[in-house]
Amino acid sequence: MKRVYITLIILAVVIAITTAWWINGTSPADKNNTTPKIFIVEQGQGVRAIAKNLKDTGLIRDQVAFFLLTKKLGLDSKIQAGSFRLNPSMTAEEIANELTLGTLDIWITIPEGMRSAEIADILSKTMPNYDEGWDETLDENEGYLFPDTYLFPKDSDVETIVSIMRNNFDNKFASLDKSNTDLTDSEIVILASLIEREARREQDRPIVSSVINNRLGIGMKLDIDATLQYVLGYQDNQKRWWKEGLTNQDKLLNSPYNTYRVAGLPPGPISNPGLASLQAAVNPATTDYLYYITDRSGTNRYAETLAEHEENIATYGL
Judgement on whether residues 139 and 63 belong to the same structural domain of the protein: no
Q: Enter the pTM of the model.
A: 0.76
- CA dihedral sign of residues 169, 174, 179, 184: positive
Residue 300 in domain: no
Element containing residue 14 per DSSP (H, E):
helix 2-26
Q: Which H, E and C letters describe 66-130, residue by residue?
A: HHHHHHHHCCCCCCCCEEEEECCCCCHHHHHHHCCCCCCEEEEECCCCCCHHHHHHHHHHHCCCC
The verdict on residue 295 lying in a domain is no
- Same domain assignment for residues 48 and 71: yes
Average pLDDT over residues 77-106: 86
The confidence score (pLDDT) of residue 43 equals 80
Domain that holds residue 153: 105-171
Q: pLDDT (tens digit, 9 = 90+) per residue, 192-204?
A: 999 999 998 899 9
Same domain, 186 and 112: no
**CA gap 161, 135 in Å, rounded:** 12
Tens-digit pLDDT profile for residues 41-80: 888 889 999 999 999 999 999 999 999 999 988 988 888 8
Task: Examine the fold and report which residue of 65, 98, 131 is the final residue of a domain before the chain moves on.
Answer: 98
Where among 98, 126, 148 does a domain terminate? 98
CB 271 within 8 A of CB 197: yes
Which of 115, 137, 171 terminates a domain? The answer is 171
For the chain, the domain total comes to 3
